[in-house]
Amino acid sequence: MTEPSLKMPASRNVILYGDCWPVVSAVQSLTTTILPDSECRAIFDLPSLIEQLTVEPRAALILCLRPREHVFLFYALRQELFDHPALVISDEIFFNDRLMLRVWGDLPCMMHDELSMMVTSQQLCEFLTVPSGYCPEKSLLAEFLQSPTLPVGFSEVPQIFHLEAPLMDYMSLLIYREMLDRKITPFRMRMLQAIWSGFQTRDELITELDAPKSKIWNEKHRLLMQLEMPARLRDILYGTRFCSFLQRTEFISPAEVENMRSEVRERRIARVEMNCITTLPNETTS
């Protein structure tokens, strides 16, 4: 389900989160070049990210990561991704990554190749002493920072999972449904299962699936075409399913996330009340 995109003015607060420091550092440098007056903060753990997004409700969020490796992060940030403009920057996008972006509100994604072009252009600008803020590349990052947009859809993942195993099972169900929508045949599904189980060479697939060599070749080619994937084993192994051992973010249940938000709000209210108490006597004295 989608709605018309809601554009917002350029944000003065940008929050970066990622699992690769050089990439986050490069994005931070580009952000301050594009928006010199903005405050750009890098965060590297999920609890601090939840706290910062609660404190800054108008901040734009940039996630430098592979979505398939951060299912638990997207799940914990379900409300935040609905309230904040968000952009994902990744070095590769597989079939399951595209599914992740779609089920969490059709989030925009920018590739590292485009980021590298921007970094090179920025270095050339500094070498040629071009005025600050000049960005010769029309990029998704520049467009996002100058005119951030809230997600156009809603999350398709319900907040009912209090353990990581049921959540991963549900994500597997979503990817299975997506394959059915793409008309993946039962034989091609069996082929995927065989590859996941370790039968990865053509001869092994012929034996496991009890099919001739020509059929194995044709069916595998058509499967990759349907999934819009190249014929690389790594892409098939990690791009057609969600793996718990690949997750790089800790699981936090919805109840724990809500407690974090509540504690942040209570601290903010207490801070405001304290400021009011200390301000009133000064005004009375004066």
**Per-residue pLDDT, 99:** 96
Q: What is the pTM of this model?
A: 0.86
Domains and their CATH numbers in the chain:
13-146 (3.40.50.2300)
Distance (Å, whole) CA 146 – CA 52:
21
**Per-residue pLDDT, 113:** 87
Region 196-208: mean pLDDT is: 91
Distance (Å, whole) CA 251 – CA 125:
42
Distance (Å, whole) CA 83 – CA 87:
13
Q: Which H or E run includes 227?
A: helix 213-227
**What's the pLDDT band for 274 if we cut at 50, 70, 90?**
confident
Residue with tokens 């590292």: 112
Q: Say yes or no to pLDDT of 120 above 90.
A: no
* Burial readout 10-31 (b: 16 or more C-beta within 10 A, e: otherwise): ebebbbbbbbeeebbebbbebb
N-to-C CA span, the chain: 58
pLDDT tens profile 34-86: 888 889 999 999 999 999 999 998 999 999 999 999 999 999 999 999 999 99
Number of other CB atoms surrounding residue 238 within 10 Å: 19
Q: Which amino acid is at 259?
A: N
Q: Which amino acid is at 143?
A: E
pLDDT tens profile 213-259: 999 999 999 999 999 988 888 999 999 999 999 999 999 999 999 99
State percent of the chain over pLDDT 70.
87
